[in-house]
A and B are shown apart, each in its own frame.
Chain A
């Protein structure tokens, strides 16, 4: 069970942030725009990750990963990390960006009273 830990953490991140999709225009409903934002950054950071692992700067505890590896001996969880965490960031920003005018509108109204 321990070896699923990293995957479970990433799954929890996706689960917690999914409801943010409903505030405004969302992220999953703009898949092309989301991929164009996430994939280039993921590529750069995956290279950084691979170099760091190869140089022994950091590494992953085999006890908490499933053991499937992408090229450059990166655990599959690391590849998913660079998709999941940016998606969480995008969902947060999209929700805040869409909610902020609503909040400002109500604060403005309250001040007028």
Chain B
């Protein structure tokens, strides 16, 4: 129940990805409604897939509960997994946005 092994790095990963966007990448992803709608859909499917992977009756992934908060919701999903997933998917979408083909003649900057 210390959370040192998973809870802490998961929170730090989210902070790091947000900091990366706000200070370095500046893609404007967080201002795009499409991003937030997509994340709601992604979390919806994460609950299905992650729920299957972590179900305590026949788990595919097992966690040392000493390294997590111990809170699992819904089903048996450790809540840290949402931070992990948010950081991973957001980081990929940030790099995808950075690679967006420029349209029109007016370049920013």
Contacts and interface: CB of A to CB of B under 8 A. Distances in A.
A58 interface: yes
Interface string B56-81: 00111111100100000000000000
A6 B58 CA distance: 12
A6 B61 CA distance: 10
Interface in B27-59: 32-35, 37-38, 41-42, 45, 49, 52-53, 58-59
Q: Which secondary structure characterizes the binding site on chain A?
A: helix
Contact of A52 (B5, B38, B52, B58): B5
Contacts, number: 95
Contacts of A64: 58, 60
Contact of A93 (B13, B34, B58): B34
Interface string B1-19: 0000110010001000000
A38 interface: yes
Most B CB within 10 A of own CB, among A5, A44, A85:
A85
A58 B53 contact: no
Interface residues of B, number: 33
B45 A88 contact: yes
B22 interface: no
Complex A-B, nearest 3 residue pairs according to Cβ-Cβ distance, in ascending order: A57-B5, A37-B95, A89-B89
Given A89-B38, A93-B34, 17 more contacts: A36-B99, A37-B99, A38-B92, A41-B95, A44-B91, A48-B9, A52-B6, A57-B6, A58-B64, A60-B60, A86-B89, A88-B45, A89-B42, A92-B42, A93-B93, A100-B34, A100-B37
